[in-house]
Structure 1
């Protein structure tokens, strides 16, 4: 079982690796970071389409997920810490783990470094994709880049070329959402079993909703009527538009979900409930100004990094709105120093397009990274 060390305390991340595409020495490596509850196994349907697009997939499980080191009680206490300083300390630790994971992969994995061609394209290198709530942690990697050792920053500069925010969660942006768009059921009500919570969360996050169109402005917040999932509007909805998880077999659900992390005191729920001001500030530092203060000087970190936001128009409201917020906040940022960011809409897709239509999703990623 492949394990990568990520700190000095023996913590490891389990990961899966498709390896280099057969007969290919120059390819791109795509690191796929999962979201809340659903771990790296949920990306496995994409694997058969990697080689034809000269892609190598590396799929880690974050801490507290199968094969990786559980959080200690002290680490959980820091996540639920009452002060912003404690919570930021916990999030910086997660950023450090991701940086250590990428560094370890580069050093032992024989990954080609990035090379920019004369036509503007890039060969080799690493693209980091983070799905949904996984962006709470990956965003921290870029936001706290100045906290990493200089050698680590230099190494990642030679490899890291793309950051793909795939259906980012609202929590990872630290922004408000119009009431009509809220849909994810992630709170355990009194008397509710863990199985019932998992079913409610999985169904709401994997449902298909009416197609969403970006607003022309967000100040003030637009008013939206309740955005009801298609399967709740009719008993005769096309089977393909029913919630993804209701079409999974019991075995598939067991292989892809760890429900405990989204429970009231689970680590993923604690990450979701961190001070929204932390996440909002992290977006600013990660995406909208690539300069960091080192002593009295401002220096650019990873200036070649390009950002892509992939959003699905029939996804859950929290996630489509997170993409809206990123779009408008990026537009308002300083043009000279913000990172290049492109939005990509997948029509007719929900939050689980990587499961429902993996070939289309891989083809899209191969094109944009």
Structure 2
């Protein structure tokens, strides 16, 4: 099985294979007023986006959590994420941005002081310039938010080292700060559901596919701390409880579900089950939301499972992944026009292996890939690329 490394500069090409291998669902949602990256397949997959879609269409509250690792400058690859965040904000979401200074220290050796300098001088101004409303956007530092570290410490009781080795491929040479940093990211993703930061609600985390290990880990941890689960039955939906005081909890669940309009129930105390006979698969999110509200009364570690969208990684100027830590691979958002022009002229051209193939097929310029993905006038972009790659 292929291993996804969130800290490498590895580029991925076969996204359908990644979807199948890691259980990522294909993104097929018709969103209102969506920007080009949603319409053109740049966002190719998701986990749990149904919650976010429901929130957008019903105009219910939801939040966005995104992050930056201050290891260098912001580039065009980062813009893909911010375009999504800005869209969700326009749809009513509250936005939280984590400055991953602990992760930068753990994986890149960047001091907390240097990380702060980079974040405030490079990243935060770029976020605002790309359209985020500063009045509705919160920026915080991992190292300074106690709630993030508390969640990492408490919820990690249900994670073991073997699982970490399987997900991240850590070795005996990996330092412990690096090993602990994914749990800090779990804290980042989940703490924004605390009442202090907006309460329990669906949260979307837009990321490149290289960050999927963090999302799988977080969603698995959320599931392990849940007291209720839901399973489709031949007749309706089954609600199962794994704690104590079974009758009281199931009766309370039935009471709350009646308030949502469900009327037909069967209770089986030995099986710790409540069957909702007049509910179907289409009611799953409504029932799940009700049970999360119930669990809040007695389980401080209950959270909505965070949703994620996955976008293709932007190809860098050198042919691999665009990366802040590899300056020659990226066009930075703060580059001058002259600097950007020079980088494009020195970029990998996309030429074929042989003269015969070049004459037969033309080139594969990286600039063409960018234009087809992001230019509003896609047909113009396609014609431009066709003219560029033609031999004549």
Is TM more than 0.5 here? no
The structure in which a higher percent of residues are helix is 2
Larger radius of gyration between Structure 1 and Structure 2: 2
Give the TM-score normalised by the residue count of structure 2.
0.29
Give the TM-score normalised by the residue count of structure 1.
0.31
